Structure 1
């Protein structure tokens, strides 16, 4: 009896594992339908992030997207990063975006460059999983796939137009999307420390206007 029960448990676990793997196949993830880069353009502040392996921006992350005359999207982004384990610098990055499939504009490819010799350059997918254009956006990139099509090494950012946070109703929608891209529970808050960075960077190049109160805070009108 015990042997049969054990065999049943093993079969059930194997089935659950296969089901999870199938639901986490990256190519099955949906992105924002009919993504409109013109509405997406403007300033965004990162509130949460799931880091990839290796070096990544740590806090005070912001990005500003603009649309060129030819309709292509470019961005300038900023954030603090720690190099060599001790050197904290303000990283300025630039990026250009292309759309491999015009029928799916929410799935873009991003070429990025660090605007200093000690910052990296490269390319990643840039998928806009969801956005309402006015409040929040969820971006996703998978750098390395497993044999089963799920993601081995990827990252995601939760952006807001307001560095102080998002209302609870939007937070619930975002958590649902985090589950859909198989990253639930893997995100960490992104500090937006505002004027406190002015003492370190006199020009305020890494400082967001205002401050992030908390992920659970609802912004109030000034």
Structure 2
């Protein structure tokens, strides 16, 4: 990796962390008039953001989520991908989204372990992209101690104009 790229990535990371620590979890908007049924189906991970650095050579690849409505109103998530640290072997696990009283906000049971966290659909056009946010640890002051977000696509790639729409500068 070139030094200038490392500087840009580090600066971006520091800025994101600084902003995140002044933003309470409940203070930013989610997708207005969210329609769960339109969100269901297959989504491909296009970009992944975390509040901690992960080297690109250990990032999971070909990450796919399939969202399915269950008879109890919850949404099951079937996640697959490849793990470069395991010889690019495949992985597969299940998680669950539990609806809340606020549209586009769910409780997330990651890998169905019984530990609920926030999972929010920040924005979506349903046919091209979605932006999802998870706070795994909320601090006492309402800020998020461990967050991740994703830009998802209905296809294995996302056109530049749609990526810009999902990730405005």
| TM-score class, shorter | 0.7 to 0.9
- 1:35 equivalent to 2:41? Answer no
Aligned residues: 148
Give the C-alpha shift of residue 53 in structure 1: 5.3
Q: Which is greater in Rg?
A: 1
Which structure 1 segments of 5+ residues have no match? 1-19, 115-119, 180-222
Distance 1:86 1:27, change over 3 A: same
2:65 maps to which of 56, 63, 86: 63
Distance 1:68 1:173 in 2: 31
Give the C-alpha shift of residue 29 in structure 1: 1.2
2:142 maps to which of 129, 143, 149: 149
Q: Report the equivalent of 2:3.
A: none
Give the C-alpha shift of residue 174 in structure 1: 1.9
State the TM-score, normalizing by the size of structure 1.
0.57
Deviations 1:114-173 (A, max 9, x none): 8xxxxx8854321111111111000001122345433232101110001122241x2222
- 1:173 equivalent to 2:168? Answer no
1:133 maps to which of 126, 136, 141: 126
Distance 2:163 2:80 in 1: 24
Give the C-alpha shift of residue 25 in structure 1: 1.9
Conserved 8 A contact 2:95-2:111: yes
**Structure with more strand by fraction:** 2
Which structure 2 segments of 5+ residues have no match? 1-18
How large is the RMSD of aligned CA atoms in angstroms?
3.0
Q: Report the equivalent of 1:204.
A: none
State the TM-score, normalizing by the size of structure 2.
0.72
Distance 1:93 1:29, change over 3 A: same
Deviations 1:33-86 (A, max 9, x none): 22211111111100000136599962110011111234321110112235xx66
Distance 2:72 2:36 in 1: 12
Distance 1:126 1:22 in 2: 18
Q: Secondary structure at the match of 2:167?
A: helix
Conserved 8 A contact 1:113-1:122: no
Distance 1:137 1:75 in 2: 15
